[in-house]
Structure 1
Amino acid sequence: MNLKELSHILGLSQTTVSRALNGYPEVKEATRKKVLAAAQAHNYSPNTRAKSLATGRSNAIGHVIPMATSHEMVNPIFGDFISGAGEVYSKNNYEMVLSIVEDGREEDVYRALKTRGTVDGVILHGPKMNDTRIALLDEIGLPFVVHGRASGIDLPYSWLDVNNRSAFHRASDFLMDLGHRRIALLNGLETMDFAHRRRRGYEDALAARSIPTDPALMRSEEMTETYGYTATCKMLALPCPPTAFLVSSFISALGVRRAIEEHGLQMGRDISIVTHDDSLSYLTNGADVPIFTATRSSVREAGRSLSKMLLDQIDDPTLAPQHQLLEVELTVGRSTGPAPVAAQTA
């Protein structure tokens, strides 16, 4: 069925029906409901291109992803984030435009998206501490929201973030309450804002207990399983090795566990591990009892919330920037236990 046929059934002009379907305010509420009910009853779907021409919108949201494998955003949690965002896009008749670009070409892509009208807005992923993309998007007038924050940017912008500093402070306190004093930090790349905040939380917690930080117990790299394994092997070879590991990624924590077991040690008895696990839907942290003690947040829910925030901004450009800070829950699993007596004595 096309617009002309639907208009004939309703006894209304095509213009009125089109405006009702597209939410124009001058259409009476009763008329709008009548048109929407008829459209649903007759399985009418407006032509996307025609609708875009009528409204000046593309009904699409952009996600620009750099190719570099070292970029902290290119990891398995992206799938869960997109699943959450995709639910919101689908309910609101939006499509997703995913652009994979070479490093250094992101600015060109954002400008092209704006110039061509390809998308109505974008979600910016993996913000660095001084992220130049925020100023660029503000300059070209492309609506955007940020998954995370950029500490070095003063411009007002909308963001959703996990309270990374509080999460790692809390995790460090938990380990110290168990008697651990040699706590290793396996962090993400600290050019990324979230990793910077996690280090701050860890350092603040140690300082509050008058425990000095030891550079030999801190690493900052791409969050892979191999990174967790290699860093742990090196630290276990130290004259005074750590008794606990605080890890920025569930995937890296799997590498830590592999290294511990290869050294003939038992996780939770000889070495404790606390990780940030993001509640991944396809890489679960155990069943009834969690494998790892973890600071948990749902990245799928973050995708839902952030996409709603962006659609609100697109619908009402006068909205003030919105901010949402998500607190984590600390879930105790089988990976933690009291520090070995010898370590506590030392």
Structure 2
Amino acid sequence: MNQKELATFLNLSQTTVSRALAGYADVSEETKRLVLKTALEHGYRPNSSARRLVTGKAGSIGVVFPMERNLIVDPHFLEVLAGLSEALGEVGTDILLTPTIAAREIDTYDRLAREGAVDGIIIVGTKVEDERVEHLAKLDFPFVTHGRTKRGSEHAYLDIDNEGGFRRATELLLDLGHQKIGLINGQPDRNYADDRLIGYRKALEGRHLNFEPSLVVAAPMTVEKGYQAARAFLTQTVKPTAIACGSTVVAIGVMQALRENGLDIGKDISIVAHDDGLSTVRADLSSLPLTTTFSPVQAAGKRIAQMLLERIGGEAVTALQEIWPVDLIVRTSTGKV
């Protein structure tokens, strides 16, 4: 159904339908609701160029992904994307996924903002100090980040309590008698990984235990990296009796390596992992139910989309800063030394 057919169906002028869809104040709220309801029921979507001409809005938000990080097959990124899609689909807003290379990433954000291709941008995977945040803040362009930064401009974000979550996870292992605890963390320039390392170290300091760099690995969150890190731990002079993993995906690789070496998980060695609620990796339904810190990333994606729409609508940055708590769920992958 096009706009002319929609107007005929409603027995309204095409001008009235157009202004109702654009939200003009001279159209009654009753008419706006009627037009929008009928448009949704009949699958009407305005032409993007026409919509931009009438409303000044693109009707879409942008997500940029550097191809080097291979995010398009990353289960964490896909879960965020699923949450974004659910929230934006409810209001008829499109997602523009834009691939780039790291060397041109800032230029890509700049182009999307300056050309009006999108109404706002979502940054996934913030760095401790993030040039993307600084650039978009200087442009005064609406954006929301998944995660915070530690330095730089005030910005809208949704994050989880990574520091608190990994401090509690490490304290659980310490309470079970473990003193040599390995940490397989994310890449060190990522803010979530930095927060988790801080939480891990604070837990050790709270028990007057020394931090041992040989027990910490920083790497992308993949099965392969988890497997390699666990194998490396087992060849060290100082071997961990427990391992904290940055993701359930990493934990799959860790468990494979431990089992190949004849270790009984939960008895010979303990594992705790962060669970993003990935639909493809269920911590509670794995062959060995994992003890996890938990915060659902798909729900975060949905909320981030809602926050960006609020930011586009004029909501202040300081009103759009959320830190979600992290739960600790104890299962059979952890046990006493």
Report the TM range for the smaller structure's normalisation. Answer: over 0.9
How far apart, CA to CA, are the structure 1 residues paired with 2:242 and 2:205?
A: 17
1:317 Cα deviation from its structure 2 partner: 5.3
Give the 3-state SS of the residue equivalent to 1:104 in structure 2. Answer: helix
Q: Partner of 2:174 in structure 1?
A: 176
Match among 257, 265, 280 for residue 278 of structure 2 = 280
What amino acid is aligned across from residue 16 of structure 1 in structure 2?
Answer: T
Contact residue 63 and residue 123 of structure 2 kept, 8 A: yes
How far apart, CA to CA, are the structure 1 residues paired with 2:328 and 2:88?
A: 31
Give the 3-state SS of the residue equivalent to 2:103 in structure 1. Answer: coil
Contact residue 154 and residue 317 of structure 2 kept, 8 A: no
What amino acid is aligned across from residue 102 of structure 1 in structure 2?
Answer: I
Q: Partner of 1:53 in structure 2?
A: 53
Larger mean Cα displacement after TM superposition, 215-224 or 202-211: 215-224
Give the 3-state SS of the residue equivalent to 1:191 in structure 2. Answer: coil
1:318 Cα deviation from its structure 2 partner: 5.2
Contact residue 289 and residue 333 of structure 1 kept, 8 A: no
Larger mean Cα displacement after TM superposition, 26-35 or 71-80: 71-80
Contact residue 130 and residue 151 of structure 1 kept, 8 A: yes
Q: Partner of 2:30 in structure 1?
A: 30
1:302 Cα deviation from its structure 2 partner: 0.6
For residues 313 and 266 of structure 1, do their structure 2 counterparts lie closer, same or farther at Cα, with a shift above 3 Å needed?
A: same
How far apart, CA to CA, are the structure 2 residues paired with 1:195 and 1:72?
A: 17
Q: Partner of 2:144 in structure 1?
A: 145
Name stretches of at least 5 consecutive residues in structure 2 with no aligned partner: none
Larger mean Cα displacement after TM superposition, 217-226 or 194-203: 217-226
Q: Partner of 1:344 in structure 2?
A: none
Q: Partner of 1:343 in structure 2?
A: none
1:76 Cα deviation from its structure 2 partner: 1.7
Larger mean Cα displacement after TM superposition, 127-136 or 290-299: 290-299
For residues 173 and 37 of structure 1, do their structure 2 counterparts lie closer, same or farther at Cα, with a shift above 3 Å needed?
A: closer
Contact residue 72 and residue 223 of structure 1 kept, 8 A: no
Which whole-Å deviations, capped at 9, do the CAs of 1:292-321 have from their partners, x for residues lacking one? 111011110010000000011112255644
For residues 308 and 38 of structure 1, do their structure 2 counterparts lie closer, same or farther at Cα, with a shift above 3 Å needed?
A: closer
For residues 207 and 27 of structure 1, do their structure 2 counterparts lie closer, same or farther at Cα, with a shift above 3 Å needed?
A: same
Give the 3-state SS of the residue equivalent to 2:134 in structure 1. Answer: helix
How far apart, CA to CA, are the structure 2 residues paired with 1:289 and 1:226?
A: 18
How far apart, CA to CA, are the structure 2 residues paired with 1:101 and 1:41?
A: 37
Give the 3-state SS of the residue equivalent to 2:102 in structure 1. Answer: coil
* Mapping for residues 220-259 of structure 1, pairs under 5 Å: 220-259=218-257
Contact residue 72 and residue 192 of structure 1 kept, 8 A: no
Which whole-Å deviations, capped at 9, do the CAs of 1:104-135 have from their partners, x for residues lacking one? 10111111112221111110111111101111
RMSD: 2.2
For residues 296 and 34 of structure 1, do their structure 2 counterparts lie closer, same or farther at Cα, with a shift above 3 Å needed?
A: closer
- Percent identity, aligned pairs only, is 39
For residues 169 and 24 of structure 1, do their structure 2 counterparts lie closer, same or farther at Cα, with a shift above 3 Å needed?
A: same
1:9 Cα deviation from its structure 2 partner: 5.1
For residues 254 and 8 of structure 1, do their structure 2 counterparts lie closer, same or farther at Cα, with a shift above 3 Å needed?
A: closer
Give the 3-state SS of the residue equivalent to 1:160 in structure 2. Answer: strand
What amino acid is aligned across from residue 58 of structure 1 in structure 2?
Answer: A
How far apart, CA to CA, are the structure 1 residues paired with 2:139 and 2:92?
A: 25
Contact residue 175 and residue 244 of structure 1 kept, 8 A: yes
Contact residue 157 and residue 321 of structure 1 kept, 8 A: no
Q: Partner of 1:127 in structure 2?
A: 126
How far apart, CA to CA, are the structure 2 residues paired with 1:290 and 1:233?
A: 19
1:84 Cα deviation from its structure 2 partner: 0.7
1:63 aligns with 2:63: yes
How far apart, CA to CA, are the structure 2 residues paired with 1:272 and 1:318?
A: 45
1:58 Cα deviation from its structure 2 partner: 0.8
How far apart, CA to CA, are the structure 2 residues paired with 1:28 and 1:273?
A: 60
For residues 219 and 3 of structure 1, do their structure 2 counterparts lie closer, same or farther at Cα, with a shift above 3 Å needed?
A: closer
What amino acid is aligned across from residue 67 of structure 1 in structure 2?
Answer: M
* Mapping for residues 35-46 of structure 1, pairs under 5 Å: 35-39=35-39, 44-46=44-46
For residues 289 and 6 of structure 1, do their structure 2 counterparts lie closer, same or farther at Cα, with a shift above 3 Å needed?
A: same
Length, aligned pairs only:
337
For residues 37 and 170 of structure 1, do their structure 2 counterparts lie closer, same or farther at Cα, with a shift above 3 Å needed?
A: closer
Whose Rg is larger? 1
How far apart, CA to CA, are the structure 2 residues paired with 1:257 and 1:267?
A: 8
Larger mean Cα displacement after TM superposition, 175-184 or 12-21: 12-21
How far apart, CA to CA, are the structure 1 residues paired with 2:72 and 2:7?
A: 47
Larger mean Cα displacement after TM superposition, 272-281 or 7-16: 7-16
Larger mean Cα displacement after TM superposition, 256-265 or 155-164: 256-265
Give the 3-state SS of the residue equivalent to 1:190 in structure 2. Answer: coil
1:334 Cα deviation from its structure 2 partner: 2.0
